[in-house]
């Protein structure tokens, strides 16, 4: 029997699935595009206990990131402004682009390669957790809301098989979040009424918004949801 070993020095430690790299700040009139300049030590590692980083999304000036079993927030250029006795402003901060990370949940996350499984409206970020079979909503702060559990549609999801490529979309015309997460159809959540209102009979694979109209692709067919 033959054994082999890999030297520690041969392991590529720069490729880490729980590491977030950042580029140099960009300034007007510069000769070199600093957005393409990533220095070796400009990164932040998040907690590896919750799996790989699977997706990232900017929402209301907050950078959300997902792991397989968690959802977190990255602090970017974090600063605090205070006024002294002479009413002069004092800016406090570490000076680092990525200074810290915080978790809004260590229960709910997003699986790998499910980039269509999240969408946002003007007020809320929605995403699908394939492990827990839940649709989550995030409106800011430090907590997530398990939307399917609160609105009593978990039984519908649990009684139907989850699709391999879940897709969430938002229709601005009707203020509806449409979740294609099970094989039996797509469930529709209305932000104005704050409840799930209906079920569509098709399961779109991809979505796109063009001129404020929502389009779906499914089996080489194109659907337009916002119809006059």
User: Is residue 30 assigned to a domain?
Assistant: no
Torsion, Cα 12 101 120 148, to 10 degrees, reads 100
Look at 62 and 81; give whichever has higher pLDDT. 62
When divided into structural domains, the chain yields a total of 1
DSSP structure string for 156-172: HHHTSPEEEEEEEEEET
CA distance 188 to 177: 6
Range from 27-41, 109-123, 183-197 carrying the lowest mean pLDDT:
27-41
User: Is residue 4 assigned to a domain?
Assistant: no
User: Is residue 189 assigned to a domain?
Assistant: yes
Tell me if 189 sits within 8 A of 146, measured CB to CB: no
The model's pLDDT over 163-201, given as tens digits with 9 standing for 90+, comes to 888 989 898 888 999 999 988 788 999 999 999 998 887
* Residue 227: predicted pLDDT: 44
Torsion, Cα 60 66 70 74, to 10 degrees, reads -50
Give me the domain span that covers residue 215.
44-224
* Residue 15: predicted pLDDT: 61
User: Is residue 180 assigned to a domain?
Assistant: yes
User: Is residue 126 assigned to a domain?
Assistant: yes
pTM, 2 dp = 0.78
User: Is residue 167 assigned to a domain?
Assistant: yes
User: Is residue 15 assigned to a domain?
Assistant: no
User: Is residue 1 assigned to a domain?
Assistant: no
* Residue 49: predicted pLDDT: 94
Task: Indicate whether 90 pLDDT > 50.
Answer: yes
């Amino acid at each position: 029997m033959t054994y082999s070993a890999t030297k520690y020095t041969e392991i590529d430690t720069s490729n880490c699935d729980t590491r977030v790299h950042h580029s140099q700040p960009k300034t007007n009139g510069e000769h070199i595009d600093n957005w393409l300049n990533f220095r070796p030590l400009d990164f932040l590692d998040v907690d590896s206990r919750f799996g790989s980083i699977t997706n990232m999304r900017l929402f209301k000036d907050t950078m959300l990131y997902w792991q397989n079993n968690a959802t977190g927030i990255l602090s970017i250029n974090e600063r605090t402004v205070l006024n002294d006795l002479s009413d002069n402003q004092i800016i406090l901060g570490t000076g680092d682009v990525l200074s810290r990370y915080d978790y809004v949940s260590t229960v709910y996350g997003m699986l790998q390669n499910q980039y269509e499984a999240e969408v946002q409206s003007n007020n809320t970020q929605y995403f699908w957790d394939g492990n827990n079979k839940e649709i989550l909503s995030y409106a800011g702060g430090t907590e997530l809301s398990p939307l399917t559990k609160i609105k009593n549609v978990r039984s519908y999801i649990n009684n139907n098989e989850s699709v391999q490529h879940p897709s969430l979309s938002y229709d601005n015309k009707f203020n509806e979040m449409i979740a294609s997460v099970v094989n039996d159809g797509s469930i529709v959540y209305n932000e104005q009424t704050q409840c799930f209102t209906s079920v569509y009979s098709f399961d779109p694979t991809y979505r796109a918004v063009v001129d404020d109209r929502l389009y779906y692709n499914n089996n080489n067919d194109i659907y337009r949801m916002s119809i006059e």
